[in-house]
Structure 1
Amino acid sequence: MKTSLPPGAYRPANDTWGSFKRLCANLPEGSLAVVDRRVARLHPTLLPTLKARNPRAVVLLTGGEVAKTFEALEQVVAAGLAMPRSGTLIAIGGGTIGDVSTVAAHLLKRGVRLIQVPTTLLAAVDSSLGGKGAVDITVRGRVVKNPVGVFHYAEEAWLCPELYETLSDTQLREGALEAWKMVASLDAELFRAYVRREPSLERMVKDARRLKESVCAKDPYEHQGLRRVLNFGHTFGHVLESVSRFKLSHGDAVGLGMLCALDVGRALGVTPEDAAWKVEDALHQGPGVLGRERTMDLLQRATLKDVTALLSADKKAGSAGELRMVLLTDIGIAVVRDVGAEVWRKLWPVWTRGERP
């Protein structure tokens, strides 16, 4: 006898492309909707379309890191207290809305059905796939990203092209950087194709989601460490985000973090010089990574003590304090290596001058 999977359990990506109005016609009545306020303003038909499905509640949150707090999580959970365990939570917004909604879906009734509707390119290519959700906490006055989280896979993802039409150039760039991250670290042939001809937005989303799904399927709960390769650029990217007090967007932070990772890989003799040059050049020519002077500006505001504290709080750090960094041994081939503090500390003076080591 075939049994259904429990809510939140691993399931292959179930992506549907189409207009929000058409897809929303299948939303179960009595669902809990979590919606980014700005998205609702930019797309005036969205809330009426939702409300036509008689939702139990619609929670409007402000997107960004302020959505990834325990206060925002409590607001979502409180709105869903009367939901049955068979209920559905639909998350409509960027990555931060998806993150807090994923945690809420996992906690409500010990797990309810989740639908992800990413409204940013960054969420479409990355965070809305893979089952991970988290909230931030503050340690010694610094916000630490994602130390408290869950795995709760969405049963569906709705990819609605009209929601991407209002994205700014910055939002398009940061989503493209995350997509290029996966291509550069996982698929050399696709990387070469992207360098020859810039992909369309839809092609980039489909490629990135396919690459990420291929990794998540082998290690859905990160028990084997295989998913660590998806963190290329994230170690120092998270530091730069925190140092900027999140004025630097996540996608731009990952872009700068990839440059740092290329430097660390070269310093260790892991990343060949020519591969590092090709990737860095492609990140400038393709998605348009911010220049190294941005890293300089941010690191000049921080002390070595600040950065060391942020790195030690990173959930990817090893038990002895070493960094578990994703480095490239070639284009399309990523490995995880332990990196001692002495390695990145030697690079610090160069980074703070905005130079390439």
Structure 2
Amino acid sequence: MKYSLVLKTNSGSVSNIMIGEALQSEFQSLLHKIKPTKTVFITDETMVKSLHTYCSPDNKSVFILNSGESEKNFDSLKRIIQFFFDQQIDKKSLVVAFGGGVVTDITGFAASIFYRGVSTLYVPTTLLAQVDAAIGGKNTINFNDTKNVLGTIRQPNHILIDINLLHSLPRRQINSGMAEIIKYGIGFAEELFSYIESLKKIDAKAFLHLVRRSAEIKVKVVAKDQDESGGQRKLLNLGHTLGHAIEAQKNQKLAHGEAISIGIMFAAFISEDLGHIAKKDLERIRESLEKFALPTRAYFDVKIALENILHDKKKAGESIDFIAIKKIGHSYIQRLTLVELSAYLSQFSL
């Protein structure tokens, strides 16, 4: 079974998305259709073997990043751009990002600024990238220990989401991706949340449904509000205010989805305190996260977390646009003062 989605934004840009299993032939057909003057590949050290198995690229056309969030930096960006320059790619070339969210984030950034924009094709290889990072056109690197400070918004021309690439992932990476899928259910689609609650196991059929439904939600949101100017896209940040702040703290060992899981629980904690969700819904959210071995509380330095949030894009003066939960399936923007946020952080930290 294969599904096609088209993300057409309010600015007119278009991203063509295919979701299915064993999409190698579709990958080759797409290259034949595009007919780029040159094709280059960006991947990381953990996915090089899978890349060569998937499409057999020429070794000289492949740039290999180290693995991990620490690669989203200026030095890596400069090295990718130098690679583009050395490969003599032009405006009609194609840049393929084959990897997880770090690979798609930094590849998209480099491609968006080289010659003011080179075409891109993403093949996301982690669940988190397939349902979130690869879709929506946010291209970014970190700066001064703060996530996603520098970047552009430019849609990838094509995204191939191949469910088969998930089969070899460690369970922890699958669970990390599930945090973002649970986020979609809590914030946008009660029926998706209920489906997650009912899951006994995640087989290929379940993966396909979870990925397709998540992609549909994100496509719909981004199509209406690509630049976050209308407020709708901000709702996708449910769980990310505290999640990013925890990720930025030194010596923490949490995966991205694990930090977001804690952030989601923090949003539920605040939403219950504000009287929007009942205790039973708070527990439903907790149980859905813990079902996938995701953490729901952790110790963090409140002062440092607040400092990290002050550098967050969601801050506006002495308050912050916090994504809270009106009810399961519906999120909204709650303006919190920094004093209120600090008090909530102190109550929530272990």
* Stretch of structure 1 that moved more, 321-330 or 8-17: 8-17
1:327 pairs with 2:324: yes
Unaligned runs of 5+ in 1: none
Change (3 A) 1:100 1:339: same
Report the CA distance between 1:269 and its aligned residue. Answer: 2.9
The equivalent of 1:289 in structure 2 is 294
- Corresponding position of 1:265: 271
User: Given the alignment, which residue of 198, 216, 236 partners 1:196?
Assistant: 198
- Is the CA contact (8 Å cut-off) linking 1:19 and 1:162 kept in structure 2? yes
Paired residues of 2:140 and 2:150 also in contact (CA < 8 A): yes
Q: How does 1:243-282 map to 2 (within 5 A)?
A: 243-245=249-251, 247-282=253-288
Shift in CA distance, 69/246, structure 1 to aligned 2, threshold 3 Å: farther
Q: Quick one: which of 225, 228, 238 aligns to 2:231?
A: 225
Match of 2:336 among 331, 334, 339: 339
Alignment gaps of 5+ in structure 2: 1-7
Instruction: Give SS of 1:217's match.
Output: helix
Do the aligned partners of 1:12 and 1:213 also contact (CA within 8 Å) in 2?
no
Give the TM-score of the pair, scaled to structure 1. 0.86
The amino acid of 2:161's aligned partner reads L
What CA distance in whole angstroms lies between the structure 2 residues aligned with 1:101 and 1:89? 8
* Cα distance in 2 between the residues matched to 1:90 and 1:332: 35
2:309 paired residue among 295, 308, 311: 311
Q: 2: CA distance between counterparts of 1:20 and 1:118?
A: 12
Report the 3-state secondary structure (helix = DSSP H, G, I; strand = E; otherwise coil) of the residue aligned with 1:337.
strand
Q: Which amino acid aligns with 1:10?
A: S
Secondary structure (helix, strand or coil) at the match of 2:253 reads coil
Deviates more, 1:32-41 or 1:193-202: 193-202
Deviation readout 1:181-204 (Å, 9 max, x if unpaired): 101110112222322235611211
Q: Residue 25 of structure 2: which of 22, 25, 44 is its match?
A: 22
CA contact (8 A) 2:81 2:110 kept: yes
1:199-233: per-residue Cα shift (whole Å, max 9, x none)? Answer: 61121111110111111111122221210110000
Q: What's 2:132 paired with?
A: 126
Q: Does 1:72 align with 2:69?
A: no
User: Which of residues 50, 54, 58 in structure 1 aligns to 2:57?
Assistant: 50
User: Scaled by the length of structure 2, what TM-score is found?
Assistant: 0.88
Do the aligned partners of 1:63 and 1:94 also contact (CA within 8 Å) in 2? no
Specify the alignment match of 1:88 in structure 2. Answer: 94
**Aligned alpha-carbon RMSD (Å):** 2.2
- Which residue identity lines up with residue 76 of structure 1 in the other structure? I
Letter of the structure 2 residue corresponding to residue 346 of structure 1: A
Distance in 2, matches of 1:102 and 1:78, equals 15
Deviations 1:1-56 (A, max 9, x none): xxxx9xx962154224343542342324611210111111456524x6122xxx87
What is the number of equivalent residue pairs in this alignment? 330
1:185 is matched with which residue: 184, 187, 206?
A: 187
Work out whether residues 306 and 342 of structure 2, in 8 Å CA contact, stay in contact via their aligned partners in 1: no
Secondary structure of 1:264's aligned partner: helix
The whole-number CA distance in structure 2 between the counterparts of 1:236 and 1:60 is: 31
* Equivalent of residue 48 in structure 2, options 36, 40, 52: 40
Show structure 1 runs of 4+ deviating over 4 A.
none
Q: % of aligned pairs identical?
A: 24
* Separation (CA, whole Å) in 2 of partners of 1:94 and 1:246: 20
1:13·1:213 contact (CA, 8 Å) conserved in 2? no
